Amino acid sequence: MAKVICPGEVLIDFISLENGKKLVDVEKFQKKAGGAPANVATALVKLGASAEFVGAVGKDSFGKFLIETLEHYKVGTSHVIEDPNLGTTIAYVSIDEDGERDFEFMRGADGNISPEQINFEAFNDCKIVHLGSATALLGAQLYEVYQAFIDFATKNDKFISFDPNYRDALYHDKQALFVKHCKEVIKHVDLIKVSEEEGQIITGEENHEKMIAALHALGAKIVTLTLGKEGSLVSIEKTYKVESVPVKMIDSTGAGDAFIGALLSQIANLEQPKSILTDEAMLVDFTKNANKVGALTTTKLGALDSIPSWDEITA
């Protein structure tokens, strides 16, 4: 069985080929596989830790493409459901001159999966459950799947990782729901990874130290706060600033997913993943590597193809 289980969405990213244009003005797109949990699962496999994706796609050409793409990267797909009634979820992505993204979503089958469709006993030998969906916190059945995975992981003493993956296009009028669900999840997690925006939305704090303290108070044992080109902050009891590496950013899509995938790949390869909770020096070292993976991911277009291997990182 895979070391890390990644429930959530896999989707089609239609990425603008006309940088600097708003989506309304774009005429040319490139099709790529995406979706935060799928990105993380791919990063895990590329970086030496087996991963299983759990989710739903439409029983259509796009769904087939996504399953084949995950299998190409050796991500487990035996728990992917093909929904005959809903299409595969699609995101349209435009990229500005600085490599930052603008999203439009057409949600489909990803949310139409229930705990009753999942054989949790198949995951008894996993080490980590990573909750990194951008759509689960909207509610519906996928959030019930989240809750079921939390229950499974808690009862079986698995390491739980959480990335809220806030998307303004999804939550701009649902922030209260986003915060409510985040707080429900955080009380159970060993590690949370947030951006500055996510941390501020969840905690109401702008100061980094206060933000991190608030996330610890909500229940997170390890807090990682990503700061883009400035690197990241990581905290168990003490907070450490971990620098990134300078790169020429082309596309930031999937950088955060690559970061958490790199961090979890190292934790998953420990004999006891929860030993990281008491080893600050190891956590800082793992975060340095994760920063580099996240940075290098931005130097190519698309999420999955751009994730480097350890050989590329150490070259």
Lowest mean pLDDT among 10-14, 19-23, 285-289: 19-23
For residue 225, the model assigns a pLDDT of: 98
For residue 234, the model assigns a pLDDT of: 98
**pLDDT band at residue 244 using 50, 70 and 90 as cut-offs:** confident
pLDDT at 224 over 70: yes
Identify which of 103-117, 137-151, 186-200 has the greatest average pLDDT: 186-200
List of long-range contacts for 206-210, beta carbons under 8 Å, 24+ apart: 208/233, 208/239, 209/239
What region, left, alpha or beta, does residue 274 occupy, with left being phi > 0 and alpha being psi -120 to 50 degrees? alpha
C-alpha 197/C-alpha 205 separation (Å) is: 10
**pLDDT band at residue 93 using 50, 70 and 90 as cut-offs:** confident
Sign of CA dihedral 73, 244, 11, 15: negative
pLDDT at 102 over 80: no
**Choices 3.40.50.920, 3.40.1190.20, 1.10.3720.10, 3.40.50.300: CATH for 4-314:** 3.40.1190.20
For residue 100, the model assigns a pLDDT of: 67
Cβ atoms of 216 and 235 within 8 Å: the answer is yes
Computed over every residue of the chain, the mean pLDDT equals 92
The average pLDDT across 66-87 equals 97
DSSP state of 87: P
Q: Which residue has the higher pLDDT, 301 or 22?
A: 22
The average pLDDT across 149-159 equals 98
For residue 21, the model assigns a pLDDT of: 85
**pLDDT band at residue 98 using 50, 70 and 90 as cut-offs:** low
E runs forming strands in 1-150: 4-7, 11-16, 29-34, 51-58, 76-83, 90-95, 101-106, 128-131
For residue 24, the model assigns a pLDDT of: 85
Cβ atoms of 131 and 146 within 8 Å: the answer is yes
pLDDT at 153 over 90: yes
Q: Which residue has the higher pLDDT, 253 or 302?
A: 253
Q: What is the dihedral of CA 306, 89, 98, 200, to 10 degrees?
A: -110
Q: Please name the helix (run of DSSP H) or strand (run of DSSP E) that holds residue 286, with its range, or none.
A: helix 280-297
The average pLDDT across 177-206 equals 98
**What percent of the chain is predicted at pLDDT more than 90?**
75
pLDDT at 250 over 80: no
Q: What is the bridge-based pairing of β-strands 90-95 and 11-16?
A: parallel
**Domain range annotation of the chain:** 4-314
pTM: 0.93
State pLDDT tens for residues 193-213. 999 999 999 999 999 999 999
pLDDT at 155 over 80: yes
Cβ atoms of 260 and 313 within 8 Å: the answer is no
**305: which 2 tokens?**
């193809």
The average pLDDT across 150-170 equals 96
Cβ atoms of 135 and 170 within 8 Å: the answer is yes
pLDDT at 2 over 80: no
Buried b (16+ CB within 10 A) or exposed e, 228-258: beebbbbbbeeeeebebeeeebbbbbbbbbb
For residue 72, the model assigns a pLDDT of: 96
